[in-house]
A and B are shown apart, each in its own frame.
Chain A
Amino acid sequence: MTETVPKELQAKGKMDAALPVEHTKPGIVFTPAVDIFETEKEITLLADVPGVKTEHLTIDLSDDVLTLTGEVKPLEGPDEEDILIEYEVGNYYRQFTLSELIDQNKIDAQLRDGVLRLTLPKVEKATPRKITVKAG
């Protein structure tokens, strides 16, 4: 198989979040990019949330709705003057409705290098089982 050259990344602006309720704190809120994939045993969610520290990340799961909230503090010092500003810094917010039955006690969350990995194991009985049909 020929070796593929990695394609060049395109610069994409961050998308503003369309919030269902008004937010009371001032500031911009962005929608983080996520990958969601599902295996037989679990659903994994990976979200790009650069600049969020572990203590500023809130993950809520209630009524099958998963809510991610991350707070970001700008890193610029008070004496710094802008020369070129290409991206804005703001908080992250995203909500998902989960379709499968998730075992809420076994949810695992890891935040590393600005990427959140959320592992949501499915409840045992939701994993598909093959039922063999015996010829009568």
Chain B
Amino acid sequence: MIVRRFNIPAVGWRGAFEDLEQLRRDMEQRFQHVLGRTYRPETAGVFPLINLTENKDNYYARAELPGLKAEELNISATGRNLILSGERKISAKGDDVNFHRREREAGSFNRIIALPGDIDADKVEAALVDGVLTVTIPKAEAAKPKQIRVKSN
């Protein structure tokens, strides 16, 4: 699902709607406490959550994948889709451990992201730094915006 947000000149984090965003998050957390599930209409609800941005040359897909190493991650690009899959492992400890908290989860994930335009699949690059994955997807030449010169007589 593509969600377009209006570009507001940035004042603080992500623009002037910061207070409203805080309100939205508070409401989501209240929903979660009452209903036991998150009310999140905007995400696909699939792990990992992705932030997709673009400039005139590339699409950028970012995901937070703490604890994952580059070899545990599979990224492929076909057609207009980016496929992200892998498995997050949490090393099991010995028998004599006593858990006080267990909040981190391990498991597999597989997500397909449809990009809004044609891409150059051969030149996709990905970097995993500090647990944040950034995939740089160059747009196909034909899909880049072209300046058209206006001739005036």
Give the interface of A toward B (CB within 8 A). 5-13, 15-16, 26-28, 33-40, 43, 46, 48-53, 75-77, 79-90, 111, 113-115
Contact = CB atoms under 8 A, between A and B. Distances in A.
B102 to A, nearest CB: 6
Main secondary structure of the interface of A (DSSP, over half): loop
A115 B40 contact: no
Given A27-B13, A39-B98, A113-B128, A8 B108 contact: yes
A46 B88 CA distance: 15
A85 B65 CA distance: 16
A131 B68 CA distance: 44
A86 B131 contact: no
Chain A CB within 10 A, most for which of B14, B51, B55, B128: B51
Given A6-B87, A50-B130, A84 B107 contact: no
B49 interface: yes
Contact of B47 (A5, A9, A33, A79): A9
29 contacts: A7-B108, A8-B47, A9-B47, A9-B108, A11-B43, A13-B28, A16-B25, A26-B18, A27-B13, A28-B25, A33-B103, A33-B105, A35-B102, A37-B93, A37-B97, A38-B97, A39-B97, A48-B131, A50-B64, A50-B65, A53-B130, A75-B132, A82-B52, A84-B2, A85-B3, A86-B44, A111-B130, A113-B66, A113-B69
A42 to B, nearest CB: 10
Interface residues of B, number: 68
Contacts, number: 173
B29 interface: yes
A5 to B, nearest CB: 8
B116 A80 contact: no
A31 B46 CA distance: 21
5 closest Cβ pairs, A-B complex = A114-B131, A50-B131, A114-B66, A9-B107, A86-B49
Interface string B1-39: 111110100001110001001100110110000000010
A51 B62 CA distance: 11
B100 A38 contact: yes
B6 to A, nearest CB: 10
Given A8-B108, A84-B1, A34 B101 contact: yes
